[in-house]
Amino acid sequence: MKKDWCDVDVQELLGKVAQHLSVSRAFGTAYEKDGSLVIPVALVAGGGGGGEGTSGVPTDDTVEEAQSGIDDAETDVQASSGSGGGFGAVVIPAGVYVVKDDNVRWLPAVNANLVIVVAFLTLRMIARARRRARRHAS
């Protein structure tokens, strides 16, 4: 039998959310290797929401009866209802802390695609600024 979304236990739902919003989604858990403790770090953000609503909307016949003064004990009303929910999350690796003896080192995670996009956009902005400067100088 399929569960309706409103039948889900709140604690169960929050547990699932906590699983999705964790560093382990990007890296895994902290571990020890060659006498060093490796602690992963990530940017974790998320949000969600839900709603429910009902509103009876009168049919065309009901509106006409009300306007003509007919008072019927039984009126046709279309039952409206709605429900919904959503959740979104992003987990972006930032890097790792490496702890060995009394030393702690930070090793950033480098996203090559992001570096290329930022470099391209920067060069594009510089080229546009130079073109504008030449036009205004003329």
Beta-ladder partners of 77: 58
Q: In what order do the strands lie in the sheet with 31-33?
A: 31-33, 36-54, 81-100, 103-108
**Parent domain of 10:** 5-137
What distance in Å separates the CA atoms of residue 61 and residue 76, rounded to the nearest whole number?
8
Read off the pLDDT of residues 25-58 as tens digits, 9 standing for 90 and up: 666 788 898 899 999 888 878 777 777 777 766 5
* pTM higher than the cut 0.85: no
Number of domains in the chain: 1
Helix intervals (H) in 4-92: 10-20, 60-68
Interval 12-28: pLDDT, tens: 777 777 777 766 666 67
Q: What mean pLDDT is predicted for residues 105-112?
A: 89
Taking a C-beta distance cutoff of 8 angstroms, is the pair 38, 93 a contact? no
**Would you state the structure tokens that stand for residue 37, as one six-digit string?**
């403790």
- Please give the pLDDT value at position 126: 97
pLDDT at 3: 53
Q: How high is the pLDDT of residue 73?
A: 46
- Mean pLDDT value across residues 1-8: 54
